[in-house]
Amino acid sequence: MGEYHSVVARTAAARADALGLPFLCSSAVLDALTEQPTDWVARLAPAQSHGWRIYADFLLGAGHSRIAVSAEPSVYWASGARILRDYLAPRGGTVIELDMRALAPTAVCDELVDNRATALLLLVGHPEPAVSIVKSVRRDQRLAEIMIGAPAGQPEFAEWATLLGDDGAAISFLRYLPERLSPLGVRVETALRERLAEAPSFVAFEGYDTVAVLAEVLRSHGADRARIAESWSRVAVEGTRGQIQFSRTPGISVWQWAWTPVQVVDRDPAEPDRFRILHTG
């Protein structure tokens, strides 16, 4: 179970499929987690095409039609940019790609002005170059009205606020939480907060839910690999964010929790330790 990043998870999922080893993916969102449909892999996080389309709806609803993306070369970032472009173009939106292999953070500001962008999305690594880009944009008076977003969720983590202070607020991102946690979610949040000495991120809830699903599957079906893989369609587990059940989703090659809650949020400029819900999908 588990993974470090969507690209790593894709490699792990392919290997698990080849070995006939059940693999429960917690956080990775790439639609093409495996090249071919497989019964060995199930996933808790929503597919990237689902979450990032909700984010695109948020951008359009906020009045943004000229959207720049500062992007590094990666399967994950390229997939995200393609989802945004394909969804926004028929609805009057334009996606302007800025290649961060060729641009310094300060040069990004000139590109934003030249292209009349009203929103900048950070499809780059954290802390760098994301932090440097945010600092450059926030200090450029020409860009005082621009919206910054980081759909992959970098602003969720405490390090973001530590490195950027007030500059890190009001940067929208995706997180996978409901508006209200279930009673189980509230209990888990309390326990995690005590253990971590800080508010848990949505990734912590993904981790707990992964363990809960696997514990139930092992209790019900034992450790036989084939029986576990056959059981994904029968899973019904109370998670921290709702009832977890897996189904087949068109275009997705693995068993998918289809009802994962999705929010667009940001850090409150007045209280950076608090998050504001901007849009729910």
- The residue assigned the tokens 């949040």 is 189
Q: What pLDDT is stored for residue 198 in this prediction?
A: 86
Specify whether the CB–CB gap between 124 and 81 falls below 8 A. Answer: no
Q: What pLDDT is stored for residue 67 in this prediction?
A: 98
At 88-137, the pLDDT tens digits run 999 999 999 999 999 999 999 999 999 999 999 999 999 999 999 999 99
Cα angle for residues 72, 76, 82 (degrees, 5° grid): 85
Residues of the chain above pLDDT 70, percent: 100
Cα–Cα distances in angstroms (integers) from residue 108 to residues 13, 98, 118, 190, in the given order: 36, 8, 13, 41
Q: What pLDDT is stored for residue 240 in this prediction?
A: 96
Residue 236 pairs in a beta bridge with none
Confidence of residue 225 (pLDDT cuts 50, 70, 90): very high
At 165-216, the pLDDT tens digits run 999 999 999 999 998 998 999 999 999 999 999 889 999 999 999 999 999 9
Task: Determine the residue type at 276.
Answer: R
Can you state the angle between helices 202-221 and 183-196, rounded to 10 degrees?
Answer: 120
Mean pLDDT of the chain: 95
- The residue assigned the tokens 């921290």 is 240
pTM of the model: 0.94
- The residue assigned the tokens 């019904």 is 236
Q: How many CB atoms lie within 10 A of CB 85?
A: 17
- Label each residue of the chain as H, E or C: CCCCCHHHHHHHHHHHHHHCCCEEECCCCCCCCCCCCCCCEEECCCCHHHHHHHHHHHHHHCCCCEEEEEECCCHHHHHHHHHHHHHHHHHCCEEEEEECCCCCHHHHHHHHHHCCCCEEEEECCCCCCHHHHHHHHHCCHHHCCCEEECCCCHHHCHHHHHHHHHHHCCEEEEECCCCCCCHHHHHHHHHHHHHHCCCCCHHHHHHHHHHHHHHHHHHHHCCCHHHHHHCHHHCCEEECCEEECEECCCCCCCEEECCCCCEEEEECCCCCCCEEEEEEC
With a CB cutoff of 8 Å and minimum separation 6, the contacts of 206 are: 26, 27, 44, 45, 176
Q: Which domains does the chain have, with CATH numbers?
A: 6-46+181-257 (3.40.50.2300), 49-175 (3.40.50.2300)
